[in-house]
Structure formats: structure tokens, C-alpha cells
Amino acid sequence: MATLNLSITVPDAVQARLLAAFCRQHGYQATVGNPAFNPVIPENPTTNPRTIANPENRVQFLKRKVIDFIKESASAAEATADAEAARKAAADKAGTDFVLS
């Protein structure tokens, strides 16, 4: 598998604001539902918390969202190209099927 490395350089003074804004805009949550939460026993912040700290930190979230965007963009571009090729093939076929005089 090939690796495509992407590096984004931002001024140090902007990095925290940029990360916070991106995470806010794209719905990052610092806490998430605890998959091990047992509703049968009482909620306890130590032994049975309803929520836990998000195991995905904000930088990991940003990277995942950027990767998702790249994948979605590539899929959309390929779908557009496929649709255009199908439209052209249908138009070409339709043009040869009709005999008019």
C-alpha cells in the first residue's frame, strides 16, 4: 500500500485556535457514551460511568475528518465521471438507434 503524507504548517500562535475551531465546526465531543456502561446497576463515575473521555483526541479527530473528506471527494469525482461516461454512451447509442428521413 502506498503512503500519501500530508503536512499542514500553521503559525504556533494560530494552532490552538485552528484546532479548536475545526473540532467545534465538525462536532468533536470531549466525552462520549461509555460502551461498557451497565444501566442495570447504579451509575458511578468510577466503576460505572455513563460517559468516558473520548479515546480519539482532537488531533486524531482532525486527521480522520481530513481523510474522510479526501475519500468522499475522490468517490464523488469518480461517480461524476462514471455518470458522464454513461450519459455519453446512452446519447451515442440513442443517436444510432433512430433512423429519420
* pLDDT for the residue numbered 95: 66
Residues 6+ apart with CB under 8 A from 64: 56
In a domain, 31, yes or no: yes
DSSP label at 31? E
Q: How many domains does the chain fold into?
A: 1
DSSP label at 101? -
Give tens-digit pLDDT for 34-67. Answer: 999 999 999 999 999 999 999 999 999 999 999 9
Lowest-confidence segment of 35-39, 55-59, 69-73, 92-96 by average pLDDT:
92-96
Q: How much is the pTM?
A: 0.76
In a domain, 50, yes or no: yes
Domain hosting residue 26, numbered range: 13-97
**Nearest residue to 28 (alpha-carbon basis) of 65, 73, 67:** 65
In a domain, 62, yes or no: yes
In a domain, 41, yes or no: yes
Q: Cell 465546526 appears where?
A: 25
Q: What would the mean pLDDT of 74-95 be, rounded to a whole number?
A: 87
In a domain, 64, yes or no: yes
In a domain, 63, yes or no: yes
Q: How far apart are CA 74 and CA 68, in angstroms?
A: 10
In a domain, 3, yes or no: no
**Nearest residue to 57 (alpha-carbon basis) of 96, 79, 28:** 28
In a domain, 6, yes or no: no
* pLDDT for the residue numbered 100: 66
Neighbours of 36 (CB within 10 A): 8
